[in-house]
Amino acid sequence: MNLFLAIVAFSLGSLVLLGWGLDIDVLKSLHPAWVTMKPSTAMCFVLSGLMAMFWQTSNYPQRTIEIASCVWALMFGVSGMILALSVWMFLILRLVMILM
């Protein structure tokens, strides 16, 4: 079951990245009225799927790939959070400047 879910996460992320690369709207979101999955999120799906697939076996070289996948997924998440916070801080500072 775990391997199946890892393959699903990897495949879903890969399809979304393929959709962004080839500009295929159907692959970017499940429904045309819904919001598209962003490429950074799709990359996190791919990396998480890779990590979960390699986690099924316990060979040393694959542990290195697991750790690298975790680090990259963490970096994507942190960079997205920093971007969101910086946008909010910019909006707050702009609002403060307008009110002064």
Binning pLDDT at 50, 70 and 90, where does residue 57 land? Answer: low
pTM over 0.75? The answer is: no
Give the range of the structural domain holding residue 71, as residue numbers without chain letter.
2-99
Q: Looking at residue 35, what is its pLDDT?
A: 85
Residue-wise pLDDT for 61-92, tens only, equals: 666 777 777 787 788 778 777 877 777 777 78
Closest CA to 51 of 61, 38, 39, 66: 66
Query: Count of domains in the chain?
Result: 1
8 Å CB contact between 25 and 10: no
Q: Are 79 and 29 in contact (CB under 8 A)?
A: no
Average pLDDT for residues 30-53, to the nearest whole number? 83
Most confident of 13-17, 37-41, 48-52: 13-17
Cβ burial of 99 (10 Å; 0-12, 13-18, 19+) is exposed
Q: What is the pLDDT of residue 69?
A: 73
Give the whole-angstrom CA distance, residue 12 versus residue 6: 10
